[in-house]
Structure 1
């Protein structure tokens, strides 16, 4: 892990959900990953909640969102952290915690994201991602549908 980067042990899933239609779309980077700012390492796997480890130091999701806003040049009010979503991923380099943030817009931000080399995708369009990402997406979708 890059000890110079305070976010190296964290990732963020970005999604859009229509309030009326319940259409749920996840943001996919041009590299194919749904994790921001970078993909999960190869050989990653999602841990079950009972396997989670308590970290003495953790990054608040809002700090991660602020970092992503800077990287993608997004306005600070577009994304809101989903407090009830946190998944730990076991990687060859240690545990990575994944949080989720929702685009707080009436319409899907297709053009905005395309200009940032990203796409909004439905869950079926994301089939074939690595197993850890598919499990993340499954858990994220369940969280979104329950909220």
Structure 2
């Protein structure tokens, strides 16, 4: 089992991308946040790549995926860490690193996430989220459409 404090300085975006339709959706918690397992603190803002700070100790994204699988009681083969997506967010408590995991399913996991008090949402449905989350979603969408 992974360290229960793994998410003190890390978060995950959970997304779905249809291989045929290119439909992109993000999981949203009941509290409205798209960051798992916890929302970003108020007054958070994304850093530009040239502003990223070097971290001495890093957690591999797959360890974060394993922890989310445990927390949400998901099968271990439903999510895969997306290589190349790593964003840093400046928060009042320090830098938080955000990674992304992709659902490896043919269809969006609507019922699966509803059973966990979450919903799958498209970008237009997520409008109005805090600016840091909206920028994370924009960057994630860009990464998925380019990759």
TM-score of the alignment, normalized to the shorter chain, above 0.5: yes
- Tell me, yes or no, if the aligned pair for 1:17 and 1:23 is still in contact at 8 Å: yes
Q: 1:136 maps to what in 2? A: 136
- Tell me, yes or no, if the aligned pair for 1:89 and 1:98 is still in contact at 8 Å: yes
- Tell me, yes or no, if the aligned pair for 2:113 and 2:120 is still in contact at 8 Å: yes
1:86 aligned counterpart, secondary structure: strand
Structure 1 consecutive aligned stretches of length 4 or more whose deviation exceeds 6 Å: none
Distance in 2 between the 1:140 and 1:30 partners?
A: 21
Distance in 2 between the 1:107 and 1:131 partners?
A: 29
Give matches, 1:101-120, under 5 Å.
Answer: 101-120=101-120
Q: TM-score, normalised by structure 2?
A: 0.96
**1:25 paired to 2:17:** no
Q: 1:46 maps to what in 2? A: 46
> How big is the shift at 1:7?
2.0
> How big is the shift at 1:6?
2.9
Give matches, 1:19-98, under 5 Å.
Answer: 19-98=19-98
> How big is the shift at 1:84?
0.8
> How big is the shift at 1:5?
1.5
